[in-house]
Amino acid sequence: MRSVTTAFKAAAASSTLRPALFMEGLFDSGSLRLWTGYGTITWNSYDWTGAGTFISIKDIEERSTIEAVGTTLSLSGLPSEVLSLALNESYQGRTINIYLGFFDSTGSLISDLDTIFSGLADVMTIEEGGETCTLSMTVENRFIDLQRARERYYTHQDQQIKYSGDLGLNYVSTLQDRVVVWGHS
């Protein structure tokens, strides 16, 4: 069961829902913070730029089993100049967070948003139109890393990666072709 604050529960149970999604991409060149409304909102000491209907998030599944699930984020109506920025960014494996928030009856954002998805950027596709383009990115949750092969070897070099200075496997290469006689001959 998720733990959410009382204010968040009250907003979710309200007869008039005012939800908003917030998307945060932590890239090498800087962070991209967008939300599904208009204007700029400050939350968690950061400014979030309103992308309105130009941002879409495919269904996010929450499962009780431990498995890798993902989602797709899309930004449409982007000027073609932004395309070069996206193509030159090292995006794979970067953290993407998606939050759900609510506004109260006065239009103020309830300060405690709920993280509904956190994962790693995977594949980006770009569809170009005349003057604008649509950028889509698949994002996988961190369980996808469990499916990655782990290759380790019993060599001195491999041992130094994890245990720098350890000499326990220093002579393994000299033992490979050595003939060892056990007992009396």
Per the structure block, which two tokens stand in for 126?
A: 């770009």
Which residues constitute the domain of residue 160?
A: 150-185
Give residue 1's pLDDT: 46
* Chain mean pLDDT for the chain: 82
Instruction: Pick the more confident residue, 174 or 115.
Output: 115
Q: Assess if residue 1 is contained within a domain.
A: no
Q: Assess if residue 163 is contained within a domain.
A: yes
Do 86 and 170 belong to one domain?
A: no
Do 166 and 113 belong to one domain?
A: no
For the cut 90, the answer to whether the pLDDT of residue 28 exceeds it is: no
The string over 27-66, giving b where at least 16 C-beta atoms fall within 10 Å of a residue's C-beta and e elsewhere, is eeeeebbbbbbeeebebeeeebeebeeebebeebeeeeee
In the chain, the percentage of residues whose pLDDT exceeds 70 is 88
Do 13 and 93 belong to one domain?
A: yes
Q: How sure is the predictor about 81, in pLDDT bands with cuts at 50, 70 and 90?
A: low
Give residue 63's pLDDT: 67
Going by C-alpha positions, the residue among 99, 92, 82 that lies closest to residue 137 is 92
Q: Mean of the pLDDT values across residues 166-172?
A: 85
Task: List the strands of the sheet with 114-128, edge to edge.
Answer: 40-43, 46-50, 30-35, 19-27, 95-102, 114-128, 132-141, 70-79, 55-57
Do 121 and 164 belong to one domain?
A: no
What total number of domains does the chain contain? 2
For the cut 70, the answer to whether the pLDDT of residue 110 exceeds it is: yes
Do 30 and 55 belong to one domain?
A: yes
Q: Assess if residue 49 is contained within a domain.
A: yes
Instruction: Pick the more confident residue, 101 or 145.
Output: 101
pTM beyond 0.75: no
Q: Mean of the pLDDT values across residues 62-89?
A: 75
Give residue 172's pLDDT: 81
Residue whose tokens read 């005349």 = 130
Task: Please give the Cα distance from 13 to 73 (Å, whole number).
Answer: 27
